[in-house]
Amino acid sequence: MGELKIPLEFFAVFTMDVNPESIQALLASENYGDRLKGLNQLRELAPTKALELIQPVLSDENVRVRYAAVSQLATLGEQNRSETTTTLLKFLDEDKELDIKAAAADALGALHCAEAYPQLEAAYQSSNDWVLQLSIIAALGELGNPAGFELLETALGSETELVRIAAITALGELGDERAIGLVAPLAKDDDWQLRSRVAQALGNFKSNEAAQSVLQALTDDKSEQVAQIAKAGLS
């Protein structure tokens, strides 16, 4: 059998260094696949440098590229929180793509931008898209802004189950004891996933007797997963 000869180009794929210059070249490529690859490789750089390089791609005409760039601000934004918050709010208010608006809401939540609440509330009230509403409601728990309580109460009445479930979780994260009276009746809901979120939410109120009483009852839930979450909430 003759000697197998492998082209040098084959090895080059695996030996090529990932560096700011190579990533910048990918991000500037006319091929959107290259730009997506460049965005993925930004994770290998120092966050400060990655935030610098991602800026031009935030206005990319390709929706997939723009979405990927906005999503990465959830982690990179800490390097310049004020400027990133302004950028994300602009996407939330002005971008035509609902998925990108939702990504902006997710990032605002991840960065705990409590000051973004008024715009998030306005976006929720002005949209009928459940994906965007879900992202906003999920973000409210992370924001920690007490002003979000009334909107979360409204979201408990949503026609979309996922929005209701997200509202339960967010109410628990917010830590306002008024949430207990709203969430506790849902411990008897037929949906075990919803009951599990109730148990998870009430577990945030360790010193409240009413919350602990509901958790105690949920330790005997017919769903083992719900029972385990309730037990964890009592510990």
As a three-state string, the secondary structure of 165-210 is: HHHHHHHHHHCCCHHHHHHHHHHHCCCHHHHHHHHHHHCCCCCCHH
Mean pLDDT of the region 45-54: 97
Considering the chain, what is the average pLDDT of its residues?
Answer: 93
Instruction: Tally Cβ neighbours within 10 Å of residue 92.
Output: 25
pLDDT for 160 beyond 70: yes
Confidence at residue 81, expressed as pLDDT on a 0 to 100 scale: 95
Return the pLDDT at 167: 97
Instruction: With cut-offs at 50, 70 and 90, classify the pLDDT of residue 76.
Output: very high
**Dihedral sign (CA 140, 146, 149, 150):** negative
Q: Which of 195, 201, 202, 204 is nearest to 225 (CA)?
A: 195
For 170: left if phi > 0, alpha if psi spans -120 to 50, otherwise beta; the answer is alpha
Would you place residue 17 in the very low, low, confident or very high pLDDT band (cuts 50, 70, 90)? confident
Q: Say whether pLDDT at 201 is over 60.
A: yes
Q: Which of 74, 105, 75, 95 is nearest to 170 (CA)?
A: 105
pLDDT at residue 235, as a whole number: 82
Closest of 108, 138, 102 to residue 123, by C-alpha: 102
Domain 17-176 indexed as CATH 1.25.10.10 = yes
- What pLDDT shows up at residue 10? 47
DSSP 3-state assignment of 129?
coil
pLDDT in tens, 99-119: 999 999 999 999 999 999 999
Residue 15 clears pLDDT 50, i.e. is over it? no
Residue with tokens 């599990």, as numbered in its chain: 196
pLDDT on residue 1:
46
What confidence tens digit (pLDDT) does each residue in 161-180 have?
Answer: 999 999 999 999 999 999 99
The closest alpha carbon to 78, from 42, 115, 110, belongs to 110
Q: Tally the residues of the chain.
A: 235
